[in-house]
Structure formats: C-alpha cells, structure tokens
DNA sequence: CAACAAATGTGAGCAGTGCTCTTGACTTGC
DNA sequence: GCAAGTCAAGAGCACTGCTCACATTTGTTG
C-alpha cells in the first residue's frame, strides 16, 4: 500500500497538482510568519499578501485561520518527530542511554531553532483555538511513544533497574491509569518504572520550556548546554537507566 | 515605611483616589477577560465597554495594551506568590518535606484555578509583548526563591543528603553559574544539590504545564491528583530530601 | 475547436482590534 | 469666580477574520 488518499487511485489532475502546490505555499509562508511573529499573531491577510493574492482568495484553500493553525501544528509535530527519529535511529538499538540522550537533545535543539513552533505545540493554547484531536493526536504522540519505546526496550533487555531506586508507593487510581497505558501500548515495563518515565517526559519538556520561554532570566545561566546535559543525566538516573 | 508611591507623603487627593480606583477597576476587569479569553485575546476596547466608557478613555489610565498586560502579569505573580507563601507558612519551619509538598501543591492548585494567568506567566510569550524586566523580575522570583530557601534551610539543618544519590559530575561552566547563584543568595547548599534543585524547579513546572496546557490528552490520566503527588514524591527523592 | 461548468481570483463590506488626536465638559485649587 | 488641570467623547487610521456577489481563468467534454 503506497497511498490511501482517495478511494480511486487516479493520477492527480493538473488542477489538483496546482491546488496542492498552492496549499503547500500557504503552509510555507505560514511557517515563516509563525517563526517571525508567533502563533497568535498569525495573519491570513499577511500570508495572502506574501502569496501575491487578495485576502479572500486564500479561503479557497484554507477553511479559516484556525485551519491554517492546525496545518502548521501538524507540520511542526511532523518535523519534530522526524528530527527525533533521525537523531535516535543513528544510534544502535541497544544503546538505550545514548538514544535517550539523543532524543532529549533533538527536542531541545529543535525547540531552540523553532521557538514559535515549539510554543505552538507545547506553550499556552492559542486563544479561541482548539486543536482537532482526531488530526493532531497521531503526530503529537510520536515523541512520547518513541521515549517509552526506548524505556521498554531497555527493560526487556534487562538494561534497566526493574525497581526504581528508593521506591515510591503508587496509589491504586494511578496504577489503573498506568496499567491501561501498559496494556494499550503492549509494554513490559512495570508500572513503577512507567510512572517515572512520565515524570522524565514532563521534566524534559519542562526544562526545555523554561529555556525557550525565557524563565531562566537573562543571565542567571550562561552554561545552558551544560545545564541541560546535567538535567538529562539526572533524568536518566530517575528512570533507572 | 508604609508606601513609597511619591516623594512627598501627602494624603491622596480625591482625584488621586478616584484615579487609583479606576486603575484598580481596569485591572479587575482585565483579570476577568484574561480568565475568560486568554492573554493574547485581551482587548482594551472590551475592558472599556465593561467599564462603561469609550475605548479611548482607558488610555488615560493605562498607557497601552502591553502596559495592562504588565499590570496583570505583576498582579498574577503576586497572587501566586501569596498563595505559595500562605501554604508554606502554615507548616513548621523544620518540616522541609511538608513545605516542599505544600509549595508544589499550591502552585498546581493556583495554576488549575487560573489557567490563563498561569499561561501568561509560564506559557509561550505573548506575541509582540516583552515583559519589562525591571518591574517583573522581583515578583517573578518569589516562588523559586522560596523553593531554594526550603532546600537551603534543610541543608543547614542537616536534613538533606549532603551529596545527592548517584552523583553526576558537574562541568566547570555550570559550576561557575551555580557558584554565582550560591554567592548571590548566600546559600549553603553544595552546588551538586543546587543543580538538582534547578531540575526539581523546572520539573515541577513542567508537570504542571503539561496538565494545564492539556498535553496529557483527554483521558490518558484520570488520576491526575495522584499522578502529581507521585511526581512530587519522586522529586523529593531527586534532591535528597 | 468551441462551449460549458467548475475552479479560482477580485473587491466591497461587516464587525472587530489598538491607538491617536481634537473637541468639549468637568473638577479642582487659588 | 476663574484659570489650570483633568477627563470622556468621538472621529479616524490601519489592521484583523471572514462573507458574498461578481468576474475571470481553466480543464474537460461534446
């Protein structure tokens, strides 16, 4: 199966080709505006100007400004996922620590390179905009699935401490959630480790968000690379890897 | 010293009183709009309508929309700081674990109660708006100062592991930053513990941000209170408390 | 090739935004 | 009582998202 865009596998007509090209141009220009001015300032009229067309014309291709935001959201999730996959895949499957570090660095590098896109994905929600779950959950779960995949593989290989250091009791309600996740994803890691994995996940993005969103202040931390590396190292220890 | 609004300590004239009241009303209405529609959708015209006045009139009291945002920012920082202080202060000074847990819960409770204010403080920056550092760094550092204060007091009292479990080497550049922080705040905690404290700080807000910003998905975690408590417990272990 | 229909671009228009400026009214202090 | 200071009003500019009637282009089909 190569493509499942439509029921019939007709080759695209010239019209369809031109239309797809225009939509691609709109997304490209939207990304530029997003990078320059941020998500909440994204203007369909400005995109139309750059496209050399009157503002109402873009509505032929994009339903609304929110629709364009959704397209940019999916685009950004895809790019982040690709970056993470590329960074992880160059390391051998058994190098669990290396793969975790590569994942963390890939996310941070991308976030620092595309702060507006990162803000769109992981920052405050854009007012009046609700991402359609049916179109964004798929691309939006690539990084976390990759992360738990690394943890699970490490656990299966016996490279991970079966019980986390200094065990913390997990209340039943939380255990139920974790059990459901384990079951749904077919994981073998015990729930206590999975819980730590969730903390590592949120902590990773917390550290990156602080840096991208300027919470560290202007000059408190000069050695940000080293700080992040240290944080990754400690997080490795948390999950027992 | 009660107030240092002006150089002379004259009692406020009726004009000044009325003016201060109007500014307070604008902030109050601004907070309502912020809570309802988010920061980027904050409209001075809408506030003016609610105030029963024409839009240009509010410019007599507030320089610009960004100025109003700054006022709301300071207001929110103050409210968060008060909540944290109140939650921490009811516990005895020597209950370091309890104080840490109280701080974390207070931040989370406030964030869930005022998600738009939380987003204004810790989410993506509002496009085109740059918070004036000279007015916001003071209120914005209350929580982290309180947090390191708890850690430092615990260390001074010998209630904290002097060396964190499973030591991670700290590179020189990062050590310099940490040393400067220690010196500036007059802390006694060793740099390795301070570094972990920074991770705990970012991880705490990472966990809260994920919850407030909806990164967990709709129904993956039903037991969010328990999840957060678990995260707090693990974070306690990270810093050796 | 010509004709037709679908797809696409145009420009006006509505309601909203931040912000500025002039004008007139009002309050305060002398 | 009057001048000075203060304030609200309203018009106006440039921008936004979005809709709609109309014109033009374009691909397909008779």
pLDDT in tens, A171-198: 999 999 999 999 999 999 999 999 999 9
Residue B12 pLDDT: 64
Does residue B68 lie in a domain region?
A: no
Cβ contact A212:B202 at 8 Å: no
Does residue A206 lie in a domain region?
A: yes
Residues A84, A196 within the same domain: yes
Q: What is the DSSP annotation of B105-123?
A: HHHHHHHHH-HHHHHHHHS
A-facing residues of B in 37-56 (CB < 8 A) are 37-41
B-facing residues of A in 192-211 (CB < 8 A) are 195-196, 198-199, 202-207, 209-210
pLDDT-derived band of residue A124, with 50, 70 and 90 as boundaries? confident
Rounded mean pLDDT, A120-145: 90
Does residue B5 lie in a domain region?
A: no
Residues B86, B151 within the same domain: yes
Cβ contact A197:A218 at 8 Å: no
**CATH number of the domain bearing residue A48:** 1.10.10
Cβ contact A108:A211 at 8 Å: yes
Residues B114, B46 within the same domain: no
B234:A202 CB<8 A: no
Q: Report how many helices (DSSP H) and strands (DSSP E) chain B contains, helices first.
A: 10, 0
Does residue B211 lie in a domain region?
A: yes
Q: Choose one of B63, B81, B102: the last residue of a domain.
A: B63
Q: How far is the CA of A110 from the C1' of C7 (A)?
A: 39
pLDDT-derived band of residue A5, with 50, 70 and 90 as boundaries? very low
pLDDT-derived band of residue B37, with 50, 70 and 90 as boundaries? confident
B171:A220 CB<8 A: no
Does residue B148 lie in a domain region?
A: yes
CB nearest A226 (choices: B174, B206, B217): B174
pLDDT-derived band of residue B165, with 50, 70 and 90 as boundaries? low
Residues A123, A42 within the same domain: no
Residue B117 pLDDT: 95
pLDDT tens per residue across span B166-211:
678 899 999 999 999 999 999 999 999 999 999 999 999 999 999 9
Residues B31, B134 within the same domain: no
Residue A10 pLDDT: 53
Residues B33, B84 within the same domain: no
Instruction: Check residues A65 and A125 and name the one with the higher pLDDT.
Output: A65
Residues A55, A160 within the same domain: no
Residues A50, A112 within the same domain: no
Query: Which residues are CB-neighbours of B22 under 8 A, at least 6 positions away?
Result: B51, B61
Does residue A57 lie in a domain region?
A: yes
Q: Choose one of A63, A90, A106: the last residue of a domain.
A: A63
The bases of strand C with some atom under 7 A from any protein CB are 7-13, 16-22, 27-29
Contacts of B206 in chain A (CB under 8 A): 202-207, 209-210
Tokens of A84: 């993470």
Residues A193, A124 within the same domain: yes
Tokens of B166: 């499973």
**CATH number of the domain bearing residue A128:** 1.10.357.10
Residues B82, B26 within the same domain: no
Q: To the nearest whole percent, how much of chain A has pLDDT over 70?
A: 92
Tell whether the model's pLDDT for residue A64 goes beyond 60.
Answer: yes
Between helix B224-238 and helix A224-238 the angle, nearest 10°, is 110
Q: How many CA atoms lie within 13 A of A223 on its CB side?
A: 18
B-facing residues of A in 136-175 (CB < 8 A) are 137, 165-166, 168, 170-171, 173-174
CB of B10 under 7 A from strand C? Answer: no
Q: To the nearest whole percent, how much of chain B has pLDDT over 70?
A: 91
Residues A137, A216 within the same domain: yes
CA distance B193 to B177: 13
Does residue A131 lie in a domain region?
A: yes
Tokens of A26: 């709109």
Torsion of CA B234, B237, B239, B241, to 10 degrees: 130
Residues A51, A82 within the same domain: no
- Of all nucleotides, the one whose C1′ comes closest to residue B68's CA is C18
Residue A104 pLDDT: 98
Rounded mean pLDDT, A81-102: 98
CB nearest B226 (choices: A122, A174, A204): A174
In Å, what is the CA distance from A68 to each residue of A33, A59, A73, A153?
A: 12, 10, 8, 37
Between helix A96-113 and helix A115-122 the angle, nearest 10°, is 110
Query: Which residues are CB-neighbours of B41 under 8 A, at least 6 positions away?
Result: A127, A128, B33
Residue B3 pLDDT: 43
Rounded mean pLDDT, B98-121: 97
Q: How many domains does chain A have?
A: 2
Q: To the nearest whole percent, how much of chain B has pLDDT over 90?
A: 75
Does residue B89 lie in a domain region?
A: yes
Tell whether the model's pLDDT for residue B97 goes beyond 90.
Answer: yes
Which domain range does residue A16 map to?
12-63
Cβ contact A64:A85 at 8 Å: no
What is the rounded average pLDDT for all residues in chain A? 91
CB nearest A207 (choices: B122, B202, B217): B202
Nearest to B162 by CA among B191, B186, B183, B182: B191
């Amino acid at each position: 199966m190569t493509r499942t865009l439509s029921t019939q596998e007709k080759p695209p007509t010239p019209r369809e080709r031109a239309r797809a090209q225009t939509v691609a141009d709109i997304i490209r220009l939207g990304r530029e505006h997003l990078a320059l001015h941020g998500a909440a300032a994204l203007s369909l009229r400005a995109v139309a100007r750059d496209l050399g067309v009157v503002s109402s014309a873009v509505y032929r291709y994009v339903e609304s400004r929110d629709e364009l935001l959704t397209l940019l959201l999916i685009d950004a999730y895809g790019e982040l996922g690709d970056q993470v996959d590329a960074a992880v895949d160059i390391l051998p499957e058994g190098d669990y620590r290396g793969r975790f570090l590569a994942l963390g660095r890939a996310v941070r590098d991308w976030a620092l390179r595309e702060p507006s896109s990162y803000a769109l994905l992981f920052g405050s929600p854009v007012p009046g905009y609700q991402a359609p779950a049916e179109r964004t959950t798929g691309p939006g779960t690539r990084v976390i699935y990759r992360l738990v995949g690394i943890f699970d593989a490490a656990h299966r290989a016996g490279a991970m401490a079966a019980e986390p250091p200094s065990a913390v009791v997990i209340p039943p309600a939380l255990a139920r959630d974790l059990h459901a996740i384990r079951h749904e994803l077919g994981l073998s890691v015990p729930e206590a480790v999975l819980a730590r994995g969730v903390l590592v996940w949120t902590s990773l993005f917390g550290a990156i968000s602080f840096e991208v969103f300027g919470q560290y202040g202007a000059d408190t931390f000069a050695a940000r690379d080293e700080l992040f590396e240290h944080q990754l190292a400690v997080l490795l220890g948390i999950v027992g890897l």
